[in-house]
Structure 1
């Protein structure tokens, strides 16, 4: 087994965007978020603490190689709530080999088309208190809020009076990979296309920095419709309980 020390080494070991997204844990000086990465035979894995609110181990490769690698590294990782994460078929194969439980299945998406045209009616939001106030009403269980370690900047759409109606965030960035999260629209304005405006703006802006990715609940039909219309491709991923 070879330890990978930098995000560049991780990117050289695999082109899997999900695993490379975890490479941000190799770039931080924050001990609570710093991680480790390894390669062994055909498997690559990265431990990314507090990545999108979970201590994740993202992995790729053949099921046998991944099972062997995880069997070696998982017992050495701190914490009791580590979540191995991989495409669903691979995750289930590894779970069977290591006798792990399935925690959840959801969607991992990446922008697989030309970035959508930026919408002029969206903008970067400087006042994060406005964002927090909207999220408290529009999405009180949002996995990303202002002040979170992964929140980089917020975009939004306003009405004619300047009131913030819809938001989304640039968050949890890794070298060459950006992550879109925190999308929410005021309840009385849902269904009017405002989330599409915000996500179009974010996808266009973030594509300047690299691949654009996001996570979505598999049963969130409205969000899936927006993301697919913008050119995002869907892959089912499954988190395990280590």
Structure 2
């Protein structure tokens, strides 16, 4: 799958205000389309249906072995330092655990390399089964995945455009697992299927249902998004 920043940008330009803090709504054609926790869970199979077990959460955060062994027992570390630790060590079991932390931080959270990581991850990962449960259920990532960083960066972009009308371009960065929004768009907007994506049949997770080797241009998106009755329900 090729990530399409153009598609995500054109979707965000059509974002509508929602009363629900953990969902995005888009006005496409003549339809209001929703991308919320349910849609995100269906696409990714990350489970947001349960509340975090606080007692288990606290009991998992006591081990500092990885931090002592590979990170000089540092109280804090940045994403770039976690990446370096993952790439530079060879002990298989520990590299696997550092890799899981790097996956969460670098892909699911998708932060700047200078951002401090959540140090508790290095303790949670000592128990892999609970590590996966914590990161499926945690409020830690919900807003980040769906709304917080994505909309914050979009608002910054629009403010730049207002302040400097003569600027040739303005840029912004979308953090979090933003490609889930692209997969959702393929599910929710059938006109994107064929020219820009191929449906491989219904699979679970739905992220496995799609492939694409071509990304739409700005004009492609505009042409699709102005079509009436664009959603599969209509």
Q: Provide TM-score, normalisation by structure 1.
A: 0.29
Could you say which structure has the higher strand fraction? Answer: 1
User: Which structure exhibits the higher relative contact order, with contacts defined as CA atoms closer than 8 Å and separated by 6 or more residues?
Assistant: 2
* Structure with a larger share of its residues in helix: 2
